[in-house]
Structure 1
Amino acid sequence: MPVYTVHAPVSNNADLRATDRFAFVRDGFHLWAAVLGVVWLAWHRLWLALIGWIVLMTVLDVGMVRLGVPATAVFLVDALLALLMGFEAASLRRWTLSRRNWRQLDIVVADDEEAAERRFFDRWTAKQRALSNDQSAVDRGGPPPTRDVPGQAFSRPPPLPQSEIIGLFPEPGASR
């Protein structure tokens, strides 16, 4: 199963409004980064990595051609560097996010990015609720608390049903 790291921008008021900016970075091999490295880097706005990639590839290719290295060797070196880009693409994204002062919040294991988001936000909202003691998250199963004020019938909770059964069987102990 793929592993995702969750990153968030550093801010003083980390609340639910910032959740749309969370970044989920899948760890592992990125095929499109290996096949179209320049396009993949530009798509993910990894500008320093893009400049470094272009400079590295240009210097290596020009240097090998000037040294008289055969074209097959130049192709193999380019293919190996493309594989390296595919394996290290996630690390480049995490490095860029840390340079932009983003912090890593969590690591999530899931089948795809949508499942990773669901798992992360389930854990994260439970943790936020525990930290803030949110009264809107209180169980609403019972009647509301009331005061017993003499002369006001609405202040007493309704009696619980004793003989009624809710469900498929209308009377207790009836056969199926």
Structure 2
Amino acid sequence: MPTYTVHEPRPRKSESVANPERFVFVRDGFHFWAFVLPPLWFVAKRLWLALIVYVVISVAIEFGMAFAKVPGGWRLVVELMLSIVIGFEAATIQRWTLQRRQWKTLGFVVAENEELAERRFFAAWGQTAPATPAAPAPVYAAPVRRGPPTSSDVIGLFPEPGASR
């Protein structure tokens, strides 16, 4: 069953807390469209820096293979492997971009689809009560020792000093 991470944006200038409608749910796992059409997927998700890095890496690989006179079949295999990596790492790239934009990760939800993940998250999120102040820590009186230690004082697990086990 898929796992979704939940991300909260920074509040806008007119907000004190971010609107829950702006939360983003990022599914872990393989992203088919990121595998098939990586540049369009980056544009659709507004991952501009990731798109630039992808284009630079793709062009560098192409120039390197052209310089090395690699046959066309092997070029296709290398591009396919790059697309597979993008497909598997698409969620990580998206989470990295959200973190770079200073979005806060609120948690994760296990659900069959994004709609169910939203329902489960907001149902559990609404049940959380505001933090109550913690009870004050108990104050213990310091132990009082009268006089110097004696040979009958025991520290440890044995009831008497020198007793057999």
Q: TM-score range by the shorter chain?
A: 0.7 to 0.9
Residue aligning to 1:50:
51
What RMSD in Å do the two structures reach over aligned CA positions?
1.5
Which residue pairs with 2:2 in the alignment?
Answer: 2
Whole-angstrom CA distance in 1 between matches of 2:109 and 2:16: 24
Q: TM-score, normalised by structure 1?
A: 0.70
Distance in 1 (CA, whole Å) between partners of 2:119 and 2:97 is 25
Partners of 1:9 and 1:37 lie apart in 2 by: 25
After superposition, residues 9-48 of structure 1 pair within 5 angstroms as 9-11=9-11, 13-14=16-17, 18-48=19-49
Runs (5+) with no aligned partner, structure 1: 134-176
User: Could you report, residue by residue, the CA deviation over 1:129-164 in whole angstroms, capped at 9, with x for unpaired residues?
Assistant: x2189xxxxxxxxxxxxxxxxxxxxxxxxxxxxxxx
Equivalent-residue separation in structure 1 for 2:131 and 2:28 (angstroms): 32
* Deviations 1:63-94 (CA, angstroms, capped at 9, x unpaired): 10121011111100000000000000000000
Aligned partner of residue 25 in structure 2, secondary structure: strand
Q: Aligned residues, how many?
A: 129
Q: Distance in 2 between matches of 1:110 and 1:55?
A: 36
Tell me the TM-score normalised to structure 2 length.
0.75
Amino acid at match of 1:60: I
- Counterpart of 2:155 in structure 1 is none
More helix as a share of residues? 1
Q: Which runs of 4+ in 1 moved over 6 A?
A: none
- Aligned residue number for residue 72 of structure 1: 73
Distance in 2 (alpha carbons) for counterparts of 1:41 and 1:119: 28
